[in-house]
Every structure is written in structure tokens, then in C-alpha cells.
């Protein structure tokens, strides 16, 4: 991102609706320069060897030109691509030689999430009562509307925002426990979960389901998965 700014390129955030994406334009440029490199080195070969030029020599020079120029342009695509530079910028605060799998609770949050979180914290601290009674409810509704469109829900009432997966699990399991009591589920029915569920989720399943005379099936799903 800093390199793009140094050379005067945009960050790829604002773009005319009729413009080509920068990354697509750079890839097309790389393809053109591959052919151009081959032709350019073929001309240099003829100038260098003169009447001593041969077909094998011409092909070797053209091949070297295509490889060298295409490699250079591919590197430029990687350096200047908005997607790549934006991704690096989002995680620049993370240790560069480490990577963690984010299971929803742990992992490296993007820098944009940190910025948004800080913004809302400051909004709350400015006037907490006003924020809570006049702004929070409308803000949550706007977030739910955005999520509704992302997941293609039929109505915003189908969308709820909770603080983490454990809370969401408890809400669902309370409903399941009532359905056991109401006869919608029968004694001996099972709840199925994967082995990757957190300890809190597994304990919640056991507490609600087994107390209702159901049982829990934990499916072992090895990772990584090998194709047959």
C-alpha cells in the first residue's frame, strides 16, 4: 500500500463505475509485455549477431526475453495489485512468519476491524447515555439489515446479533430443551456436533440435551482432509 502511494497510484478504494479494475489491467499488461519481451529480445539478437544469427539463437533470446519480462511484470502485478496490498495492510500488525486458523474466537483481526471498534468505543465514551438510548438500537438494526442481505434472509426478524458462538449455542439449546418438554423431540433423539466445537459448546450440549433424555453424537472429521 505504501509503495502504491509512493508512486502516486490509488489504493483501489475509489474507482469509476466504467473503469477496469486495476488488478485486471495489470494482468493484461503482463500478458502484453510477455509477447513484447520475446519480440524485443529477438530484435536484440539480430542486432547483436548480425549475419551470424541462427534460428536456435533467436529462439533462445526470445525465450529469455519472454521469461524475464513476464517475471518482472508478474512481480509488479503482485506489488501493485489492490487486493494483495490491501490484504497486507489489513494484517500488517500481525507477526509476519506466523499464521493462526481463526475459528471465530481466536486469530488476527483485520486492521479495519480495529479501526471500526475504536471508532464505536469513542462514540460510546462521548456520551454513553445518549449513545445507548438514541443511537445503539438504530445502529444494531442497520447492522441486521446488512447481514440480512448478505445471508439472503427473508426478513430482518430472522437476524439476531450475539456476542459469541457460546451465547448463540445457549439460545438455540434453550429452545431445543423446551421442544423436548413439549414433545416436539422424543427421548433418545440425538444432537450432532463436530469435534471442532469448543469445550463450552460441547458442555452446553451435554447439559441441555442429556438432561432432556437425549444424547450427543460427536462426529470426528480429520483435518486436513485428503482427497481420494
Residue pLDDT, tens place only, 34-57: 666 666 766 676 676 777 767 776
User: Which of these, 65, 67, 43, 66, lies nearest to 53 by C-alpha position?
Assistant: 43
**Exposure letters 202-227 (e unless 16+ CB within 10 A, then b):** eebbeebbeebebeeeeeeeeeeeee
Q: Is the peptide bond before 224 cis (omega within 30 degrees of 0)?
A: yes
Consecutive sets of 10 residues in the chain, 228 residues long: mean pLDDT of each?
47 42 56 64 67 71 68 63 64 71 63 86 91 89 93 92 85 90 89 86 89 89 70
Distances (CA, A) of 202 to 186, 196, 208, 209: 21, 9, 10, 10
The angle formed by the CA atoms of residues 96, 100 and 103, to the nearest 5 degrees, is: 150
pLDDT, tens digit, for every residue of 193-209?
888 888 888 888 888 99
**Cell triple for residue 110?**
483485520
**Cell triple for residue 57?**
539463437
Amino acid at each position: 500500500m505504501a509503495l502504491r502511494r509512493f508512486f502516486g497510484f490509488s489504493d483501489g478504494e475509489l474507482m469509476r463505475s466504467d473503469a477496469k479494475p486495476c488488478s485486471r489491467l495489470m494482468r493484461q499488461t503482463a500478458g502484453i509485455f510477455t509477447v513484447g519481451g520475446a519480440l524485443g529480445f529477438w530484435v536484440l539478437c539480430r542486432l547483436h549477431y548480425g549475419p551470424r544469427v541462427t534460428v536456435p539463437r533467436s529462439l533462445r533470446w526470445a525465450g529469455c526475453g519472454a521469461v524475464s519480462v513476464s517475471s518482472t511484470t508478474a512481480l509488479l502485478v503482485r506489488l501493485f495489485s489492490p487486493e494483495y496490498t490491501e490484504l497486507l495492510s489489513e494484517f500488517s500488525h500481525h507477526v509476519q512468519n506466523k499464521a493462526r486458523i481463526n475459528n471465530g474466537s481466536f486469530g488476527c483481526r483485520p486492521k479495519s476491524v480495529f479501526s471500526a471498534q475504536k471508532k464505536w468505543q469513542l462514540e460510546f465514551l462521548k456520551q454513553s447515555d445518549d449513545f445507548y438510548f438514541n443511537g445503539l438500537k438504530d445502529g444494531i438494526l442497520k447492522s441486521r439489515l446488512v447481514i440480512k442481505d448478505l445471508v439472503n434472509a427473508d426478513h430482518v426478524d430472522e437476524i439476531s446479533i450475539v456476542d459469541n458462538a457460546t451465547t448463540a449455542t445457549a439460545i438455540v439449546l434453550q429452545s431445543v430443551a423446551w421442544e423436548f418438554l413439549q414433545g416436539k423431540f422424543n427421548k433418545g433423539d440425538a444432537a450432532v456436533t463436530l469435534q471442532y466445537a469448543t469445550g463450552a459448546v460441547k458442555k452446553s450440549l451435554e447439559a441441555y440435551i442429556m438432561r432432556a433424555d437425549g444424547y450427543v453424537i460427536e462426529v470426528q472429521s480429520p483435518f486436513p482432509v485428503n482427497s481420494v
